[in-house]
Chains A and B, each alone.
Chain A
Amino acid sequence: MSIGHTLLGLLESGPRHGYDLKRAFDAHFGHDRPLHYGQVYSTMSRLLKNGLVEVDAVEPGAGPERKRYAITDAGVTDVAQWLARPEKPEPYLQSTLYTKVVLALLTDRNAAEMLDTQRAEHLRLMRGLTERKRGGDFADQLICDHALFHLEADLRWLELTAARLDRLAETVRA
C-alpha cells in the first residue's frame, strides 16, 4: 500500500495536522498495523518536498510547532492518477485495493469504475495465463493454476465489494 497516496487522499477533505492524519489513517486502514508518527512525518516531508502538499498553518504548542498540511492541485492530480491506475495483479493485493476503494468513496470519486478497471486488468492477466496453460507442459499448467486461483480470489473480492459499495460508503462516511 502507498502510505503517501493514502495520506494525500485523506487530505482532500480538508487540511489536517500530522496527528489528525495518523488518527484518520488508523481509523480507516490501520486495523492491524497502526501508523507510526515517524512514518507520518517522514511521508509528509517527502510530499512537501515534491510539491504535493503545503503547510497551511503553523501553530505554536507546548512542544514543537504543529504544522497543518493542505493538499495542492498537483497532489489532487496525483491521487486521481493513482486511483485510476489499476494495480499490477499479484497475490495479497487486498490492502491496497481496499485503501483505494475507501479513498475513492471518501473523495467522491467513482469507486465502481475503479473496481471495474481493476477487474478488467485481473481478467486480462487470467486470459494470458489460460492461454499459456493451453500450450504449456504439465509443470507450466500447475504454475499457471496457482496464479489463476489467487487472481480468482481477488476478482471475487472485487465483485463482492462492488455489490456492497453503498454500504461501504455509508460506513466510511459516517
Chain B
Amino acid sequence: MTPEGSLLSAEALHKAYGATPALDGAEFSVHPGEVVAVMGPSGSGKSTLLHCLAGIIRPDSGTVRYGPHDLTRLSDAQRSALRRSDFGFVFQFGQLVPELTALENVALPLRLNGAKRKEAERQAREWLERLEVDAVHGQRPGELSGGQGQRIAVARALVTRPRVIFADEPTGALDSLNGERVLTLLTDAARDTSAAVVLVTHESRVAAYSDREIVVRDGKVKDMLAGLI
C-alpha cells in the first residue's frame, strides 16, 4: 500500500545497534482506522521499527512522517509531547504504575496533558466500562488478574483518543480467551475512533485481527498485500 493518504509513514529507515543492523531500509505506512500487523521472527527488527515509528528512538537515517512532522527531525521534548497527545501504547506486560489504582492509571495520561482530576477520572471510568473492568477501578495492579491488567492498559492507551495506537505483543502474556477479548475490544475501539493500530505480534491468530500484515525480516519490510520487499 502506498503512503498516499497515510496517517503515519516511514521511508528508508536504517538503524544499527553497534555493528548489528536492526533496520535496513524499512518502509511502512498506516491509514486512519487501519489495523496493521507487524510480524516477523524474534530479532528481525519489528520492535525497533515500532520504536522508530512512535518516536521513542531516532533512526540512523530515513524519515518518519506523521501529519506535517518528520519525527526524526523533532527534539526529544517535541517527540515526547507528540507521544502524549497523539499516540497510545500497549505493551506485553501492561506496565501500569503499581502505586496507583486502575482508575488513576487510566486517568494518568489525561492528567499529564493538563486535565482536571474530576474530568480525567470521568473519562477514565467511561473507558473502564467499555473495556469491561469498571468493577475493579479502585484496585491496584498487584490485585488484578493478567487479563484485567491488560484491559486497563488498553483503556489507558485509548483514553486520550490517540490517532495511532502502538501495541507490542499486547496479548503475549494472556490465555487464549482473555487475549481474544482484549484484541476484540482494542480493535473495535480503535475502528470506532478512526485510530490506526500498529500491532506487533509473532502470533498469526493475533495478526488475523488486522486489516493487513507486513513481515519484517533482517531489518527489511515486506508488505504481504503488495508482495514487495
Question: Does A90 belong to the interface (CB within 8 Å)?
Answer: no
Q: How many chain-A residues does the 8 Å CB contact rule pick out?
A: 18
Q: B184 — which chain A residues lie within 8 A by C-beta?
A: 134
Find out whether the CB atom of B41 lies under 8 angstroms from the CB atom of A159.
yes
Question: Does B112 belong to the interface (CB within 8 Å)?
Answer: no
How far does the Cβ of B42 sit from chain A's closest Cβ, in whole Å? 10
Which residue of the partner chain, among A116, A117, A152, A159, contacts B205 with CB atoms under 8 Å? A152
- B-to-A contact residues, CB < 8 Å: 41, 184, 203-205, 207-210, 213, 215, 222, 224-225, 227
How far does the Cβ of B206 sit from chain A's closest Cβ, in whole Å? 10
Q: B209 — which chain A residues lie within 8 A by C-beta?
A: 130
Contacts known (A116-B215, A134-B184, A163-B41); A126 close to B204, Cβ less than 8 A: yes
Pick from A122, A127, A152 the residue with the most CB of B within 10 Å: A127
Which residue of the partner chain, among B41, B213, B222, B227, contacts A123 with CB atoms under 8 Å? B213
Find out whether the CB atom of A148 lies under 8 angstroms from the CB atom of B222.
no
Q: Could you tell me which residues of chain A, from 108 to 161, have a CB within 8 Å of some CB in chain B?
A: 116-117, 119-120, 122-123, 126-127, 129-130, 134, 148, 151-152, 155-156, 159
Complex-state Cα separation, A117 to B215, whole angstroms: 12
Q: A156 — which chain B residues lie within 8 A by C-beta?
A: 204
Q: A151 — which chain B residues lie within 8 A by C-beta?
A: 204
Which residue of the partner chain, among B41, B204, B225, B227, contacts A122 with CB atoms under 8 Å? B204
How far does the Cβ of A157 sit from chain B's closest Cβ, in whole Å? 11
Q: A163 — which chain B residues lie within 8 A by C-beta?
A: 41
How far does the Cβ of A159 sit from chain B's closest Cβ, in whole Å? 7
Complex-state Cα separation, A126 to B206, whole angstroms: 10
How far does the Cβ of A144 sit from chain B's closest Cβ, in whole Å? 10
When C-beta atoms are compared, the residue in chain A nearest to B41 turns out to be A163
Complex-state Cα separation, A163 to B215, whole angstroms: 13
Find out whether the CB atom of A123 lies under 8 angstroms from the CB atom of B215.
no
How far does the Cβ of A110 sit from chain B's closest Cβ, in whole Å? 11
Q: B224 — which chain A residues lie within 8 A by C-beta?
A: 116, 119-120, 123
Complex-state Cα separation, A117 to B228, whole angstroms: 11
When C-beta atoms are compared, the residue in chain A nearest to B176 turns out to be A145
When C-beta atoms are compared, the residue in chain A nearest to B225 turns out to be A120
Find out whether the CB atom of B204 lies under 8 angstroms from the CB atom of A116.
no
When C-beta atoms are compared, the residue in chain A nearest to B224 turns out to be A120
Complex-state Cα separation, A148 to B222, whole angstroms: 24
Find out whether the CB atom of A155 lies under 8 angstroms from the CB atom of B204.
yes
